Amino acid sequence: MYGKKLKVIELNKSIDAKEHILEVYAVFKDVKYGNTYAIYKDTFDSTNDILHYASSHFKENTLVLLDIKNTEYVLELVKEFVWDLINGKENFKFEIINIDKIEKAEVISSNNIKVKDEVLITLKEKCIPKAKEEIEELLPKKMSSSKKILITGFTLAFLVVVAFFIVNRDAFEPITYTLRCTKTETDNSLGATIDTTDNLIFNKEDNLLLKRNIIMIYSFNNKEDYNEYKKLGLYYKIEPIVSSATMTYNGDDTNKIFTITEDMTTEKEYFEPTKYGEVLDRMEYYNYTCSKVEDK
């Protein structure tokens, strides 16, 4: 673990003020120039999509944070560091600083960048040690004899229900099919060929779109274009169709391939057509080739 939660020193804090905490994911040094920076989340932020970065200094047991003037260079540095950190990649351009003895933070000023909330979630999982209370919640708790008997009874009843549904699977499983649409295009500005597969899952009876899975595979012409795409975080320009969609990013450095996967349902926030005929017309209008696949 590289980071920790730090209380912020508030000079004019009122008694009833909310406690100010930073989730400091890491403090690292730019080996080339010797400058030290910190990346963190501020609990006082009103949204969960802001990653702060700042020049960092140490004053006894306090981490002092200041904004950065040369943001263009440092911003790219931060993006590269965060990418490597999330993906567990070693990079000798950076040296991570041990902050075990740091107990609090003083925020004078900072810079920030807007990121996907899953970036902050991943950074927290990888960098912030769990508190004692969180660890205890994960540990198994002792049960009384009466509770064990009750659970045993529920387990047996559950197994009977499961067995019934397995035997009568065909009567209860919804019949669905997938409309699989594909398209290949070239993006000269990126230096890449993009192969898109859009899987649209329908309810067979009502012809309603239930789920959707989009896979975009970027095959780059050369290593330089691939590295620039990753370093600049250009994959974040792909906006999800619905805010509740799950976005997954995966880079294959050896083959210069970057894959973006988007999974979603149409229960809410979905404003595109959901009827089969309308969906097919729309996909073909955007030059997709579509075919129907029966789900097993």
Per-residue pLDDT of the chain (296 residues; tens, 9 = 90+): 789 999 998 766 555 567 889 999 999 999 999 999 999 999 999 888 999 999 999 988 999 999 998 788 899 999 999 999 988 888 899 999 999 999 999 999 999 999 888 899 999 999 998 876 555 555 566 666 666 666 666 667 666 555 544 544 444 445 788 999 999 999 999 999 999 999 999 987 767 788 899 999 999 999 999 999 988 888 888 888 888 888 899 999 999 999 999 999 888 778 888 888 999 999 999 999 999 887 65
Contact 249, 234 (CB under 8 A): no
CA–centroid distance for 268 within its chain: 20
Give how far Cα 60 sits from Cα of 2, 44, 69, 248, Å.
Answer: 19, 25, 25, 41
Residue 65 has which token pair? 């944070």
Give the other-Cβ count within 10 Å of 231's Cβ. Answer: 13
State residue 9's pLDDT score.
Answer: 85
**Phi and psi at residue 282, in whole multiples of 5°?**
-65, -45
Give the other-Cβ count within 10 Å of 39's Cβ. Answer: 24
Rounded to two decimals, the pTM is 0.48
105 Cβ partners below 8 Å, 6+ apart? 6, 7, 8, 9, 22, 24, 62, 63, 64, 65
State residue 139's pLDDT score.
Answer: 56
State residue 169's pLDDT score.
Answer: 46
User: Of 71, 60, 62, which Cα lies nearest the Cα of 110?
Assistant: 71
State residue 170's pLDDT score.
Answer: 45
Contact 52, 29 (CB under 8 A): no
According to DSSP, the residues that pair with 54 across neighbouring strands are 38
